[in-house]
Amino acid sequence: MAIRNIIQIGDPTLRKKSFEVVDFGAKTAELLDDMKETLKKADGVGLAAPQVGVLRRVFIVSVEDKYYECINPVIVSQSGKQIGDEGCLSVRGKFGTVERPKKITVVAYDRHGRQFTVKAQDFLARAFCHEYDHLDGILYVDKATSMGEDK
């Protein structure tokens, strides 16, 4: 496992749409393992493959001692709304107020190619939506109604 460099806003990779994963082999497992180590070191909540320069539809989220690996995720339903502050490991030193769905259902695949479903709400739904946006080249700053500096 290796710590990967987290690219920052301004890098054109962050604005590109990611490609679907078709090979659930060793390379994908290595990416997931590296992303987990990178996320731990950065003390973040989530990390998408484009943030480490890999244009694949992969993200990870770690919330309340629960860890999720999502490959080729699709948000199949959403409801309600919540407004809150978000930051991003690729937008250091800033935060913004963003509206997200309150509840979502996501269908994705694990590292072995097995499909699973997650029903998320509140902060977990926010984290999933934030990382999902990265797969389409969207940053939270694009959706923020206001921005601020971290203290």
Instruction: Please state the separation of Cα 113 from the chain's center in Å.
Output: 19
- Which of 32, 31, 25, 21 shows the shortest CA–CA distance to 57? 21
The helix or strand, by DSSP H or E, that contains position 73, with its residue range, turns out to be strand 66-79
**37, 64, 86, 131: which one is catalytic?**
131
d(CA 119, CA 121): 7
Mark whether 69 is an active-site residue: no
What residues are annotated to the active site? 131
